[in-house]
Amino acid sequence: MAGPAWGPPRLDGFILTERLGSGTYATVYKAYAKKDTREVVAIKCVAKKSLNKASVENLLTEIEILKGIRHPHIVQLKDFQWDSDNIYLIMEFCAGGDLSRFIHTRRILPEKVARVFMQQLGKSL
């Protein structure tokens, strides 16, 4: 169920807390499962009104690909839901953020660090 425009949306089974980031089509929130485990997840909220036909196809492709992938170097899609306003991708939470943010924050990576990332990227293929 969508929440008010000024705050994070409401999603059954989860408590959305802080906004982690946003892009052209989506906003990502840190969230906690309401279950006993209180698992921390990242929820990508995609506003349906921002999507054109090609964007919908890209999102559906992303969901289909991520549903079938289990790899230690690829963020896991745990579930997805939708309501009248949004599509929600419930994903594994990465405490350090994404690789792009890591690189932009540091600007220059030591060769040793870059090598580790390249190895992980290669293994994920």
Q: Which residues are annotated as a binding site for ATP?
A: 49
Q: Exposure pattern of 2-12 as b/e (b: 16+ CB <10 Å)?
A: eeeeeebbebe
CB 77 within 8 A of CB 66: yes
Residues placed in the known binding site: 49
Residue 124 carries which DSSP code?
H
Q: What is 10-45 written as a DSSP string?
A: PBTTEEEEEEEEE-SSEEEEEEEESSTT--EEEEEE
